[in-house]
């Protein structure tokens, strides 16, 4: 490696099938250390803090959901495994997740899998 160059962590790169012939890679943002990042503003593929994250700022509520102390977002363990593994669902803004307004995050690697926002 040349002097002054920066080594990149390739574990956060993702190749899209349509981009393979052109060898275009997309860098997904890692917000796992930013406890004030609202997941509702993240992009699909971004890595975020979850209630499972070490040192995460979440309070468990009486109804079994979790509230991010910094952003007020409400998280709930998903009862489905559409991605092939366990998932978290969180509501948009400070609301509980609903069918049409939620973000789905993988519990395994903490990546945003899907964003549902009704207009």
CB 50, CB 62: distance < 8 Å: no
Residue from 30, 70, 67, 75 nearest 48 by CA: 30
Query: Does any domain span residue 3?
Result: no
* 100 occurs within a structural domain: yes
Can you give the pTM of this predicted structure? 0.72
pLDDT band with cut points at 50, 70 and 90 for residue 76: very high
Please write the tens of the pLDDT for every residue from 43-52. 899 999 999 8
Q: What is the pLDDT of residues 14-24, one digit of tens each?
A: 444 544 455 55
Q: How confident is the model at residue 1 (pLDDT cuts 50, 70, 90)?
A: very low
Number of domains in the chain: 1
Structural domain for 60, as ranges: 30-116
Whether 105 maps to a domain, the answer reads yes
User: Does residue 16 lie within any of the structural domains?
Assistant: no
Give the pLDDT confidence score for residue 74 in this predicted structure. 95
Is the four-CA dihedral 82, 83, 84, 90 of positive or negative sign? Answer: negative
């Amino acid at each position: 490696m040349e002097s002054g160059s920066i080594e990149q962590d390739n574990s956060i790169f993702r190749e899209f099938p349509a981009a393979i012939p052109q060898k275009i890679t997309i860098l997904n943002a890692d917000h796992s250390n930013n406890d004030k990042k609202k997941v509702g503003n993240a992009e699909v593929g971004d890595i975020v803090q979850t209630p499972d994250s070490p040192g995460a700022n979440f309070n468990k509520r009486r109804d079994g959901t979790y509230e991010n102390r910094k952003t007020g977002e409400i998280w709930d363990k998903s009862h489905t495994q559409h991605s092939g593994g366990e998932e978290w669902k969180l509501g948009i803004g400070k609301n509980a997740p609903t069918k049409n307004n939620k973000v789905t995050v993988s519990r395994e690697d903490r990546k945003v899998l899907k964003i549902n926002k009704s207009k």
